[in-house]
Amino acid sequence: MDHGQLSLVADKFQWVFSEPLLNACGTEEKFCRRPRIITPLRLGLALTATCASQPVETLADFHRGFNALWGTTITYKAFSNQVATSHLADFARPMTSRLIGDMTLKVLGFAKGRACAEFRHMVLQDGSSFAIHDGLREVFPGRFKVVKPAAVALHTTMDLLCDAPTTVVLTPDTTNEQAFLPEPASRRASVLLADRGDLDVHSMPRVQDAGGCLLIRAKAGMNPQVLEAFREDGKRLRSLRQKSLQTIHTKLPKRQRVERVVQWHVDGRPLRLRLIISWNRRTKRFCSWLTTLSSRRYPLDTICRAYQWRWQVA
């Protein structure tokens, strides 16, 4: 990080942890009615510093971190009485949102004229599930009720160019992850790299209309119309044209990757996408990706390598 970036980070840090703003936020959320030793600013800095410097397993870790940072000797009981309230979450939520949203810098980029150089954001979205105590099954039901009666899902959206998350949402495991994708209107000059659980053909035209692009792993069982098909070496596969995908699935070559131009009719209008199909020798299955990226600027090999960024980061 150069001197200019360090200065920018320092300015952003002072803005995010502004004493008047944080204390006003704590008062507004009824976390701190009267400023004492544990002020919203002091607690916010202590929580952030403790999480950034060590593993946190119990409330006692935060208590020790607060005393060490501010040179206080506040007792554990007094500390826990202050933070063990619902108002702490109401205060920590906007503080964390400011931290994630404002403390990001663009750390990756592409040379002008190269692939992906036109994108302001490369958005990755994924979710992870975690089992929790069975007693919370009514509030946080799990998808697999026999194995995990209670579970949560952590939905995270990340900007690859900033190498930082942009949104983090915790929900019951049964919640559909598509609800947490960025709005189509916000994806201008952006490309979304997502898993097949995020595939929604009805939202794709709106993303294209907003000036965004998609690269998504395709679902099994899709059956669009195949308009054109090309082998990796450029040979046109005429026998696979103008047929439904499922009827020609067994005819796909395994020695080379295949690119197809496929089409759906969505909400009364045609939706034309590129479908990349590759045979995985290890799993003995086909892997496939759908994309709106142009074939002239993004050939088949570039598409496959670009999607690997998602796995490397996730």
In a domain, 124, yes or no: no
Using pLDDT thresholds of 50, 70 and 90, give the confidence band for residue 178. Answer: confident
pLDDT at residue number 140: 92
pLDDT one-digit tens code per residue, 186-217 = 888 899 888 877 677 778 888 888 888 989 88
Most confident option among 61-65, 84-88, 184-188, 234-238? 61-65
Q: Are residues 210 and 89 in the same domain?
A: no
pLDDT at residue number 10: 64
> Looking at the 3D structure of the chain, how many domains does it have?
2
Percentages helix, strand, coil for the chain, rounded to the nearest 5?
Answer: 40, 25, 35
pLDDT one-digit tens code per residue, 57-77 = 899 999 999 999 999 999 999
In a domain, 117, yes or no: no
In a domain, 223, yes or no: yes
Q: Are residues 95 and 196 in the same domain?
A: no
Domain boundary among 87, 102, 117: 102
Compute CA 267 distance to the chain's CA centroid, rounded to the nearest angstrom: 27
Q: How crowded is the C-beta side of 11, counted as CA atoms within 13 Å?
A: 7
Q: Is the pTM of this model over 0.75?
A: no
Q: Which amino acid is at 262?
A: V
Q: Are residues 186 and 97 in the same domain?
A: no
Contact 207, 193 (CB under 8 A): no
In whole angstroms, give the CA distance from residue 270 to residue 130: 39
DSSP 82: H
**Parent domain of 221:** 182-313
In a domain, 165, yes or no: no
Q: Are residues 190 and 97 in the same domain?
A: no
Domain boundary among 102, 126, 141: 102
In a domain, 200, yes or no: yes
Q: Are residues 187 and 301 in the same domain?
A: yes
In a domain, 141, yes or no: no
Q: Are residues 191 and 297 in the same domain?
A: yes
In a domain, 152, yes or no: no
Contact 27, 39 (CB under 8 A): no
Strand order in the sheet with 269-280: 164-172, 151-159, 121-131, 190-194, 213-217, 285-291, 269-280, 258-266, 225-231, 243-244
In a domain, 156, yes or no: no
pLDDT at residue number 238: 84
3-state secondary structure of 117: coil
In whole angstroms, give the CA distance from residue 213 to residue 260: 18
Domain boundary among 79, 102, 125: 102
* Residues in contact with 139: Cβ distance below 8 Å, sequence separation at least 6, in sequence order: 150, 172
